[in-house]
Amino acid sequence: MTVAVHPAAPGRGAHLAALAFTVAVFAVVVAFVTLRLRAGLREQVLLREGETLAAVATMQLANDTASLADLGMADALGELRDAVLKTAKLRGVLAIRVFDAGQRFMGAVPWAWSEEPPAAGDWGRLDAGRSIARLHPRESLAFLAGLAEVRAGEPVVPLLEAWVPLRRTEGATLAGAAQFWIDGRAVAAEFATLDGRLVAQAALAWFAGSLVIVVALGWAFRRLDRANRELRTRSEDLQRANRELVLAAKTSALGTVTAHLIHALKNPLAGLEVFVAGQAESGSGAEDGGELAAAAELTRRLRSMVNDVVAVLHDEQHGAHFVLTGAEMAELALAKVRPAAAGRGVKLATETVVAVTLSGRRANLAGLVLQNLLQNAVEASPAGGTVRLGGRAAADGTVDFSVEDSGPGLPEAIRARLFQPCASTKPGGSGIGLALSHQLAQQAGGRIELVRSDVNGTCFRLVLGPEV
């Protein structure tokens, strides 16, 4: 028979590791989303600053264009710079640079620290009418003052750099572009406020999400553990049922052979008993007489065993109806083993056996089991030892019989394969006695249990369930 081996279910440590990993992954996801949201919000703030400057500059340039039109002029020298300067006064700008539509430098305030126009990519965005804003968190004011190098002790402050397109009217072609350098402390403070709120919201989201994850996964792991336990229990039950089916098949076949063998041996044993008894009575030597008497006793015992089994088979086949008390069944079993116990010098002790009534079939089967257990106990006990038989009845109708010997106990190998065939340490033993008794007990609606087995002896219990 092939026994399925199931992998062990994940332990508490594996569940905790899975929870920790899931929570960590969720933290990474929350951090990633928060950083993306942070970048988007900062971009919106910077875009707001640039668009505000662009709107103010366009308004100033439109006003100047209208004034020039009243004077009959299309444009004037320094028109773009003047509009940007007016915008700078409104916004409190630290420095400006102005370029016309051809990217030619038109002037700077306080003075030109560089005449290089913006990069090609930035100019393309300006030409498309979009503003550009960047925050420099730590920037020196030295280059705004026209210094080539930053000197030690120069103040370092956050600066907002903004490039805005210059148009005379909304939607008109690009007239130029202006670069504004603005004190960025207000924007930096807004960024810090946004960061604090995002961190608080991200922490709250992570905590709430982690709590949900822990509760959900904990519930799922408990369900999984319960399912694993049920699966292991069912697997063990299935394996046990398979073993019992195989054992039942073996013992069933063995029972058929045994029944045939018993019927075949009954008459020869009876003749052999008569022959040996006659030889014992006519034997001349004391030694020969003793051996013949022992042979006659053995033959009588064999015939008695065969008769018992034949009686059980007869009752099974013809459906005989009778009842026995627990005391009567125990006494019948003791009567069968008394000669063997006397021959080995083993005492038989009977404790109180309750007067419970058993049907004939159950009494026959249970009697065979008790007889086998008592026979094993007698053979396991040394000369001068004691075999005890006891019984009791429970309120629910369950009946327990115990058989205890004073032998050395069962070896570990036998205990591991207790009710399996071919597990015997007795010389000449077939190892099927307990296996057959186990099957007989089940047929009687009960079971055999090993209560204990140590250097002080072995105790078996035959438990019979309530009569159905």
**Residue 251 and residue 240: Cα distance in Å, rounded?**
16
Average pLDDT over residues 150-175: 80
User: Is the pLDDT confidence value at 28 over 80?
Assistant: yes
**Residue 141 and residue 409: Cα distance in Å, rounded?**
98
At 201, the pLDDT band (50, 70, 90 cuts) reads very high
Q: What is the mean pLDDT of the chain?
A: 78
401 in any annotated domain? yes
Q: Give the range of the structural domain holding residue 443, as residue numbers without chain letter.
A: 321-468
Same domain, 174 and 25: yes
Kindly give, in sequence order, each residue whose CB lies less than 8 Å from that of residue 467, ignoring residues fewer than 6 positions away: 358, 359, 362, 397, 445
Average pLDDT over residues 375-385: 91
220 in any annotated domain? no
Q: Supply the pLDDT for residue 290.
A: 60
**Residue 179 and residue 97: Cα distance in Å, rounded?**
5
271 in any annotated domain? no
* Rounded alpha-carbon distances, angstroms, from residue 166 to 86, 123, 178, 181: 13, 12, 7, 16
User: Is the pLDDT confidence value at 397 over 90?
Assistant: no
- Residues 319-373: pLDDT tens digits? 556 678 878 888 888 888 998 899 889 999 988 666 677 877 788 888 888 988 9
Q: What is the CATH number of the domain that holds 60?
A: 3.30.450
For the ranges 103-107, 112-116, 405-409, 411-415, the lowest mean pLDDT is seen at 112-116
Q: Supply the pLDDT for residue 151.
A: 57
Phi, psi for residue 350 in degrees, rounded to 5: -115, 125
At 258, the pLDDT band (50, 70, 90 cuts) reads low
218 in any annotated domain? no
Q: Supply the pLDDT for residue 278.
A: 65
**Residue 288 and residue 278: Cα distance in Å, rounded?**
13
Phi, psi for residue 452 in degrees, rounded to 5: -160, 160
Phi, psi for residue 359 in degrees, rounded to 5: -65, 160
**Residue 436 and residue 443: Cα distance in Å, rounded?**
10
Q: Supply the pLDDT for residue 155.
A: 72
* Buried b / exposed e along 294-313 (16+ C-beta atoms within 10 A): ebbbbbbbebebbebbeebb
User: Is the pLDDT confidence value at 387 over 90?
Assistant: yes
At 392, the pLDDT band (50, 70, 90 cuts) reads confident
Q: What is the CATH number of the domain that holds 383?
A: 3.30.565.10
User: By percentage, how much of the chain surpasses pLDDT 70?
Assistant: 70
At 428, the pLDDT band (50, 70, 90 cuts) reads very low
Q: Contact at 8 Å (CB) between 92 and 183?
A: yes
215 in any annotated domain? no
| Single residue among 118, 153, 183 that ends a domain in this structure | 183
453 in any annotated domain? yes
**Residue 106 and residue 288: Cα distance in Å, rounded?**
145
Residue 415's Cβ-side half-sphere holds a number of Cα atoms within 13 Å equal to 12
Q: Supply the pLDDT for residue 300.
A: 62
Q: Measured between alpha carbons, how far apart are the two ends of the chain, in Å?
A: 33
Higher pLDDT, 282 or 314: 282
pTM summary value: 0.47
- Structure tokens belonging to residue 296: 């006659």
**Residue 303 and residue 163: Cα distance in Å, rounded?**
120
Closest CA to 87 of 211, 176, 206: 176
Same domain, 179 and 325: no
461 in any annotated domain? yes
Average pLDDT over residues 26-41: 93
190 in any annotated domain? no
Higher pLDDT, 394 or 130: 130
| Single residue among 183, 211, 240 that ends a domain in this structure | 183
Same domain, 179 and 327: no
Q: Supply the pLDDT for residue 377.
A: 92
- At CA 264, angle to CA 258 and CA 267, rounded to 5? 130
User: Is the pLDDT confidence value at 33 over 90?
Assistant: yes
Higher pLDDT, 143 or 435: 435
User: Is the pLDDT confidence value at 281 over 80?
Assistant: no
Show the beta-strand stretches assigned E in 2-141: 95-100, 105-109, 132-140
Q: Contact at 8 Å (CB) between 92 and 99?
A: no
| Single residue among 147, 164, 183 that ends a domain in this structure | 183
Number of structural domains the chain divides into: 2
